[in-house]
Structure 1
Amino acid sequence: MTTVGIIGAAGYVGGELLRLLLHHPDVRVTGAYSASLRGKRVDGAHPNLRGHTALSFTDPDDRGAHDVVFLAVPHGRAVEHVRALAGTSTCVVDLTADFRLRDPGAHQRYYGEVPPADDLRAAFTPGLPELYRDALRTADRISVPGCMATAGVLALRPLAAAGLVEPGVVIDAKIGSSGSGSSATTTNLHAERSGAMRVFAPHRHRHEAEVAQETGLDVRMTATGVEAVRGAQVLCHASGKPGLAEADVRRAYRDAYADEPFVRVVAQRRGLYRLPEPKILAGTNYCDVGFSVEEDSGRVLAVAALDNLVKGAAGNAVQCLNIRLGRPEDTGMRFAGLHPV
């Protein structure tokens, strides 16, 4: 049985990790860490877990030994924990942005801070199973991508790999309020957020660097906060190469994702859900991808949707863990979603 500790377990992502791991057949959660809530019961912060755990939060400074440690701390804080775990056999799965970008210059530009040391950054394997499955089988340091980055990469990578689109891509991303985290700020107040469609990143959203890194495209991203609590959707606008046909795009997606357990191609000609919709993905680890092609103009719209807290964070992390443990990737994550919701 693999023992797991979660640092930052009081936040939304930490709560999702607990929800997925408490009943995982191959895992035992032996530590839920939070400095601000130390000594308090886990189900006080995560009421959906009432009756599922008797754990209480522990101060991270009193961390015990675990086979795997998940880091669900604020950006910029993962480095200290990774250094503290240096030299141990512990597998670290980081859900912050600290180790996502391979280029230190890109990290400096997008985060405005000096990136972690090269020796730390180089040790991390990107936590995107669809691209790095083989490397994840033996990885001891895993960096899970951002939620909108995961959606953007899965939407665009098949098109880029097949050489079907021009390099310049514009991504219009939308995300629910849980993407801002559990800390109460003015921007998260119900009175300010309810009914709003707020453009909070008109240019150079941080996740555009991750999408560019994994697709090789020249990416520009904007991001808007919408009324939903969970869910992220990206609309990726691209220009197809001369002579592009819809059949070419469909074939690229089919070839890329035919055997993927958590990526579904959704591109139907009619119906309410003919393109990916975050609403029906709440609580699941699926990323639905779809497309629309205007053949006479060569315009391509690639669409992806996911639950930002699951496939966009905790679920993707658990999928990586399953690969690392040599278990089926959907272990502990077979929830199909709800309709209607």
Structure 2
Amino acid sequence: MRLFFRLCLFLCLISRPVSAQENPAVLYEINLQKYMMGTTVEIKAVHPDILEAKKGIYFAFKEIERIDKRLGYQGNGSDVARINDFAGKHPVKIGAETFRLLARAKAYAEKYQGDFDPTIGAIAELWGFNLNRPPSLPQDADLQQTLPLVNYRRLILSENDTTAFLTRKNMRLDLGGIAKGYAIDRAVEILRRNKVENFIIKAGGDMFVSGMKSATEKWQIGIRHPRAPGEIFAIMEIKDCAISTSGDYERFFMKDAVRYHHILDPKTGRPSRRCKSVSVLSETSAEATDVLSTTLFIKGIAEIRAAGTFKNYLILDETGNLHLDSTLVHRYKLRTLTKFPIGGN
């Protein structure tokens, strides 16, 4: 695996040089990356004009950077940080863009019965997953005291004056489960506006694949093996869709042979134990897959099947067994590269 694919990334991109035989026009593969939003953001484009592609990528990075400053957990220019600072005190005037995103985040929380909750920040802070310090195991008493601060219904949005208010002191918004997907969607718009049509944007476990790798070849995407760093366990061929993976292997620590990871169940305040890896595809937006991969990871396969409404998923459950929507095989040529179940703590 090339060096820029850090082991913390959820998705692995499989690529090879674009040849003149595949496309009579000369195509160049441009690959740029930047660290932002707490992860490495990478944009790879195939384009006949290097300068035009780099220009589009530059503006896409600038857009992601702007969104990161607006929605980040900390920072002077962050609407989210200001809302958190005045939790339990008074509503905060925010930009229309942030307001709309919070409204959608709250709608997702309602739709998925609180398994996705943008007010998870206080619990994530208790564990240390959203702070600039090593995460650690909190005391049970602290968890129980903090858990009531997670409740999306206590996020009050006023459309009349575009304000947001967390009604209890010490509540915290954390948009880590939606912001990267939204930023990717915005970057997709910027690239296409700048006449870059064939590309991949990847930020942590979230990705959007646009167009083709060549005139005859779709992009091949690999899903990272949750217990074998640097390896993948599945490959798909996709175009013009988003894919997000949530896994227990990116941000975690081990204590007494137990894995404690950053995907926290809003109802228990503890890492969800029902899955090792969840990938979801959508032809609509990376925001949708970002939210849904986290949600399905917390729900687990039993609840997913009972609901009967979820599609385009690839799940490794807590025992390492594979579950998938057959659409991935028929439409996206999914194939697996390893034996199941996948073991290991």
Task: Give the structure-2-normalised TM-score.
Answer: 0.27
Task: Give the structure-1-normalised TM-score.
Answer: 0.27
